[in-house]
Structure 1
Amino acid sequence: MPLGGVIFIVIFIALFGAFLLWVATKTGGKPIYHPIKYEPYECGIPALDKKDTKVSVKYYLTAILFILFDIEIIFMYPWSVSFREFIAAGNGGLVFFAMVEFIAIFVFGLFWLVKARALEWD
C-alpha cells in the first residue's frame, strides 16, 4: 500500500505542476523584447567593461574554510548533546575517541593551512 501512495503523490505533483505552467502561459502576457534585458546581470544598466574588478581567490578560500570549520561545529553539537546517553549505554569511550579523532583531523588541517600560509593576505 505505501507504494500506491508514493505513485499517487508523484502523479499529483506532475499534474499540478503542468497545471501551474499552463495557467502561467495563459495569464502571463506577451514577453516584451528589449536589448538591455539580455545584457549581463539583467539590471537595466548598460554593462561597463572594467579590468580591475577581479576578486582575489583568498576571499573564496576564506569563505570555504569558514564553511568547513562551521560544519565541524555543527557535527560537534549533536554529539555533545547526546554524549551522556552514549555513556549510559556503555559506548562513551568509543564515541569519545571517535570525536577526538574527528577533532584531530581538523586541527591537523588547521595547522596545515597555517603552514601553507593559506590564511595570510599579503
Structure 2
Amino acid sequence: MSSQFLPVFFQILVAAGFAAVTLTLSVLLGKSARRNDTKDTAYECGMLPIGEGAPRFSVKFYLVAMLFVIFDIEVVFMYPWAVQFRDLVAQNATALVSMTGFAGILAFAYVYALKKGALSWKPEVKGATEPAAAAVEEGATA
C-alpha cells in the first residue's frame, strides 16, 4: 500500500524543496529593500489614499446584479433542455412536466421581485404617497 503513495510523497518532497530553495536564494541573492514612507503607503489603482473614499452605491445596483445572475443561470439551464426537447418528450413526458415546474418557479420568483420593487429604479421617499408630492416636499424644505 505504501509503495502506491511513494510517487505522491516524492512529488510533495520535490515541491517543498523547490519552494525552500527558491525562497532561500531570493533572500541571499536579491537586493535588500530599504523601507520608506512612499513604499509603505497603500496603493489604490494609482490614486493617492487621501481624503474621502468613493461614494457608496445604492443597494439597488447590487440587488439587480444578483437578480440578473440568478435569472441568467436559470436560463442557461434551459438551453440543453430545449436542444434535447424532442428526444426527451419522445421517451416520456416527465421532462416536460419538470421543466414546466422549473419555469413556474422562475416565473414566481420574477413576479415576487417585481412586487417587492426590486427592479424599480424610482427613488423611495418615506412618508410620501406620490412621487410628485415627494418632489414638492423636497423643494419646500430646500
TM-score (norm 2): 0.63
RMSD between superposed Cα atoms in Å: 3.1
The letter of the residue matching 1:33 is: R
Task: Show the counterpart of 2:82.
Answer: 80
Matched, 1:12 2:14: no
Task: Show the counterpart of 1:116.
Answer: 116
Q: 1:58, 1:10 → 2: CA distance? A: 51
Shift of 1:26: 2.3
Shift of 1:74: 1.4
Is 111-120 or 75-84 further displaced after alignment?
Answer: 75-84
Q: Deviations over 1:25-69 (max 9, x none)?
A: 523734553445554454454213326611111111111111101
Overall identity of the aligned pairs, in %: 34
Larger Rg: 2
Task: Show the counterpart of 1:56.
Answer: 58
Q: Which structure 2 residue ranges, 5 or more long, are not aligned?
A: 123-142
Q: CA contact under 8 A between 1:40 and 1:47: conserved in structure 2? A: yes
Shift of 1:79: 1.5
Count of aligned pairs: 117
Is 19-28 or 102-111 further displaced after alignment?
Answer: 19-28
Is 35-44 or 70-79 further displaced after alignment?
Answer: 35-44
Structure 1 residues 72 and 45, CA, compared in 2 at 3 Å: closer, same or farther? same
Q: 1:40, 1:25 → 2: CA distance? A: 27
Aligned 1:14-29 pairs, distance under 5 A:
15-16=14-15, 19-20=18-19, 22-24=21-23, 26-27=25-26, 29=30
Shift of 1:120: 1.1
Structure 1 residues 9 and 57, CA, compared in 2 at 3 Å: closer, same or farther? farther
Structure 1 residues 48 and 108, CA, compared in 2 at 3 Å: closer, same or farther? same
Q: CA contact under 8 A between 1:36 and 1:42: conserved in structure 2? A: no
Structure 1 residues 115 and 107, CA, compared in 2 at 3 Å: closer, same or farther? same
SS in 1 for 2:101: helix
TM-score (norm 1): 0.71
Q: CA contact under 8 A between 1:62 and 1:119: conserved in structure 2? A: yes
Q: Which structure 1 residue ranges, 5 or more long, are not aligned?
A: none
